[in-house]
Structure 1
């Protein structure tokens, strides 16, 4: 996992009505873990990703946009090509 979209993650935490402390309590981590993720100092472990997915009620699309933004952008760019390469076999 590369960089996460910390701004989008902060927005989702706010929309869900959590403080960092409340979110940390909800998912069973320390508040410093949440802070370090939001500051970009730490990449969340799988268990934390799974807990955030549930606590923030993320759709799969939101999850990918937040935690895999580069890969999500590559998918969007590929999809936006449309029929650009007509006559070529599709992948």
Structure 2
């Protein structure tokens, strides 16, 4: 699941991500990046504990709604290569 493929309930319409008071400005770049990190941290933590990754779906939906696909693809490549700058 760390690859970022769609969790099972991806079918249907996705609403716009709700307001996040940590990112009040129009520019949502940091919001995109933070939710990408939060998703991967959540997956890692849940897998380590042996629990369901269902709660991580929220972060997945938000970063897929906010982030350009090219950014996500580049970040996934960097994670795979071990050169990603974020702490996951």
Q: TM-score range by the shorter chain?
A: under 0.3
Structure 1 or 2: more helix by fraction: 1
TM normalised by structure 1 equals 0.27
